[in-house]
Structure 1
Amino acid sequence: MNQTARVQRATLKRRALSWVWRFAVLAIILGLLATIIFRANVIDLFHIDSNSMQPTINPGQSIAVDRRAYKHSDPQRGDVIVFDGRGSFLPYAKASFADDLLGALSLTDTGSKYVKRVIGVGGDTVECKGTPCHVTVNGQPVDEPYLFDGDAPSEQAFSVQVPEGRLWVMGDHRSTSKDSRSLLGASGGGMISIERVTGKATNIIWPLDQRSAIH
């Protein structure tokens, strides 16, 4: 093989390697974009650090959040939801367009996401009166089999009227949960705007041996 042929062969080899690297980088970028779009529009993931939803969801678990659940309907009583707490659980934290966009694309964790159970929706009267205190919605007792063993429905008495477009939420581990009850005197009264709901928590997906549907 003469010198010219060797040079041509080496050049072709370099070009082939260059195309392989370009294809690999493009595949990685497209994969990342597909993941971002999927998490922003279909199923997101949320890691649990708090014990406020025990025994339904425990610290260390990761859950799937269906972002499509409320595209054409509002959250219902009993749903477990993930939401942005700015303006409610974080009453004085201001939401910005940049944070909303990055959060929607799952590109940042603002530290303002919470998971709780919907107890009352717009127009409901939610109360807990008497000793022991039992939660009622529009005067009807709420059956709560999901409560943490040994917990009372609430150790704090309350009576609230939920405005339209808002939600009254509580954790299943009532004795440790900081929820709508804790913010009655704050701006927004602990009521969650439906617009701040990320989606419905549907399944525990991690650890693998603890996978189950969320009810």
Structure 2
Amino acid sequence: MDTDEQLSERDRSAAPPEGWRTRSRSVRSGPGSRPRFPGRGPWRRAGVLVALSVAGVSLLSACVVQPFLIPSGSMEPTLRTGDRVLVNKLAYGFGNEPGRGDVVVFDGTGSFVHDGRSGGVLTGLLREAAAAVGLAEPDGTDYVKRVVGIGGDRVTCCDERGRIKVNGVALDEDYLLPGDSPSQVPFDIVVPLGRLWVMGDHRSDSRDSRDHLGEPGGGTVPVGRVIGRADWIGWPARHWTSLTVPEGFARVPDAPADGRGGGHG
């Protein structure tokens, strides 16, 4: 039988040599090891999630729905300064084109703007990134207006009651800002095929197709420059609503097939 003295000697001989834990620790933290820093894992995961979220929002904004910050009162009372609308970028895919009464966002380069974009490349990229999520005003070449005439339509102003006529039919524009007349500027234009005649709902405070009558294209906007259709007001919450086509446009007949527009009626 082992005595107490033999047991204590065996315990001492089984014990690790002095300094063993220190050497073991130094080996584990040598050049080939990966030091662990508290919190590094969670921060890295959070960074990845943020990057993926930003990429997802950017992709959604580029291809499907883009928030658009309303920069002025030219579309009042339908859209107010500071409203954020959601622009449906798929609305005019698969052969669909803008229709009369649609509220559209478009790039006015070549129609409303002839000087191109201003500012440096970096400034432009930062603005585009902020505008893509509705945090900044859109580029100076982007506009939001209502389509009044499409390719082939004859749009005239005004009849004896001061109303705009499209293909001979007078529009009852109850969406205009109260007190505004349909237009103080007379015009008579046949919209070229593949282009749009657009106007703001606040007619006395809107720079629209009327302001570019004497320029190439006669103030009309190419369909190919349309970014999308404004379908919803997403912010502020008290303005939440969908944007629908006013009923008056349903009475407008299609333009004649010869593309010369309708008569005065």
2:5 match: none
User: Are 1:14 and 2:32 an aligned pair?
Assistant: no
Percent identity, aligned pairs only, is: 40
- In the superposition, relative to structure 1, how do residues 6 and 191 fare at CA in structure 2: closer, same or farther (>3 Å)? same
The number of residue pairs the alignment matches comes to: 212
After TM superposition, give the deviation of residue 24 of structure 1 in Å: 2.6
- In the superposition, relative to structure 1, how do residues 135 and 4 fare at CA in structure 2: closer, same or farther (>3 Å)? farther
Of 35, 46, 54, which residue of structure 2 is paired with 1:32? Answer: 54
Is 2:196–2:222's contact at 8 Å kept on the other side of the alignment?
A: yes
Q: Counterparts in 2 of 1:99-114, with a 5 A limit?
A: 106=132, 109-114=138-143
User: Are 1:78 and 2:101 an aligned pair?
Assistant: yes
After TM superposition, give the deviation of residue 131 of structure 1 in Å: 4.6
Aligned residues: CA RMSD? 3.0
1:176 match: 205
- Tell me the secondary structure at the aligned position of residue 168 of structure 1: strand
Is 1:91–1:186's contact at 8 Å kept on the other side of the alignment?
A: no
**Larger Rg over CA atoms:** 2
2:73 match: 51
After TM superposition, give the deviation of residue 106 of structure 1 in Å: 3.4
Distance between the aligned counterparts of 1:4 and 1:18, measured in 2?
A: 26
Q: Counterparts in 2 of 1:189-200, with a 5 A limit?
A: 189-200=218-229
After TM superposition, give the deviation of residue 89 of structure 1 in Å: 1.1
* Deviation string, structure 1 residues 25-59 (Cα, Å, up to 9, x no partner): 22222211111100011110111121110010111
Moved more, 73-82 or 185-194: 185-194
User: Are 1:154 and 2:183 an aligned pair?
Assistant: yes
After TM superposition, give the deviation of residue 16 of structure 1 in Å: 7.3
Distance between the aligned counterparts of 1:187 and 1:165, measured in 2?
A: 14
More strand by share: 1
- In the superposition, relative to structure 1, how do residues 94 and 23 fare at CA in structure 2: closer, same or farther (>3 Å)? closer
Is 2:198–2:220's contact at 8 Å kept on the other side of the alignment?
A: yes
Q: Give the gaps of 5 or more residues in structure 2.
A: 1-19, 245-265
- The one-letter code of the counterpart of 1:87 is G
Of 59, 82, 86, which residue of structure 2 is paired with 1:64? Answer: 86
Q: Give the gaps of 5 or more residues in structure 1.
A: none
Distance between the aligned counterparts of 2:189 and 2:42, measured in 1?
A: 63
Give the TM-score of the pair, scaled to structure 2.
0.71
Is 1:87–1:188's contact at 8 Å kept on the other side of the alignment?
A: no
Give the TM-score of the pair, scaled to structure 1.
0.86
